[in-house]
Amino acid sequence: MSDTRFSEEYEGPLLEVTDVKTYFETDRGVVRSVDGVSFTLERGKTIGIVGESGCGKTVLARSVMGLLPRRGLIREGSVRFEGKELIGLTPREMRAYWGSQLAMIFQDPMTSLNPVMKIGKQITESIREHLDVEKKYALELAESLLRSVRIPEPQRRLDDYPHQLSGGMRQRVCIAVALAAGPKLLFADEPTTALDVTVQAQVLDLMAEQQRERFMAMVLITHDLGVVAGRADEIAVMYAGRIVEKAPASVLFRDMKMPYTQALLSSIPKLADASHTRLATIPGRPPDLVKPPKGCKFAPRCAYVQDRCGEEEPPLTPGASAGHEFRCWFPVGTPEGADALARNVERRLPAALVLAAADTVEV
Partner 1 sequence: MPAPPDRPSDSTHADGLGRDVLVERPSEALLASELEGLVVDGELIPVAAIEADPKAHRHKLGVGAWLAIVWMALMVGMAILAPILPVGDPEETISAEEIREQGNCVTVERLGREIEQCNIAARGPFADDGGAPGYLLGGDGNGRSMAARLVYGARTSLFVATGAVLVGFVFGGSLGLIAGYFGGKIDTVLTGMFNVLLSIPAIILALALVSFLAPQSSEGAGVDPPWWRSSSMILIYAIGVVAIPLLGRITRAATLTWSQREFVLAARAQGAKNARIMIREVLPNVLPAMLSITLLGIAVAIVAEGALSILGVGVRPPTPSWGNIIALDRAYLLTGAPHIVLEPATLIFVTVLSLNYLGDVVRARFDVREAGI
- Report the C-alpha dihedral over residues 313, 315, 320, 325, rounded to 10 degrees: 110
Q: What is the DSSP string of 285-318?
A: -PPPSSSPPSS-TTGGG-TT--HHHHHSPPP-EE
CB nearer to partner 1: give 168 or 295: 168
SS3 state of residue 21? strand
Q: Is 277 in the site for partner 1 (CB under 8 A)?
A: no
CB nearer to partner 1: give 148 or 261: 148
Q: CA 6: distance to chain centroid?
A: 25
Q: What is the DSSP string of 239-273?
A: ETTEEEEEEEHHHHHHS---HHHHHHHHTS--TTS
CA–CA distance from 217 to each of 14, 159, 182, 339 (Å)?
Answer: 8, 31, 12, 41
Q: Is 154 in the site for partner 1 (CB under 8 A)?
A: no
Q: How far is the CB of 166 from partner 1 (least distance, A)?
A: 4
The one-character DSSP state at 216 is: -
CB nearer to partner 1: give 115 or 335: 115
With CB under 8 A as the contact rule, the residue among 52, 125, 255, 313 that binds partner 1 is: 125
Q: How far is the CB of 72 from partner 1 (least distance, A)?
A: 10
Choose the stretch contacting partner 1; rule: CB under 8 A; options: 43-51, 115-123, 291-299, 354-362.
Answer: 115-123
Choose the stretch contacting partner 1; rule: CB under 8 A; options: 38-46, 158-166, 264-272, 311-319.
Answer: 158-166
Burial class, 132, CB count within 10 angstroms (exposed 0-12 / middle 13-18 / buried 19+): exposed
Q: Is 111 in the site for partner 1 (CB under 8 A)?
A: yes
Q: Is 103 in the site for partner 1 (CB under 8 A)?
A: yes
Q: How far is the CB of 131 from partner 1 (least distance, A)?
A: 11
Q: Which amino acid is at 53?
A: S
With CB under 8 A as the contact rule, the residue among 13, 99, 241, 319 that binds partner 1 is: 99
Q: Is 59 in the site for partner 1 (CB under 8 A)?
A: no
CA neighbor of 110 nearest in space, from 62, 162, 146, 158: 162
Residues 168-227 that bind partner 1 (CB under 8 A): 168-169, 174, 177-178, 180-181, 198-199, 202
Q: Which residues make up the interface to partner 1 (CB under 8 A)? A: 65, 67, 71, 95-100, 102-104, 106-108, 110-117, 125-126, 129-130, 150, 152, 161-166, 168-169, 174, 177-178, 180-181, 198-199, 202, 276, 278
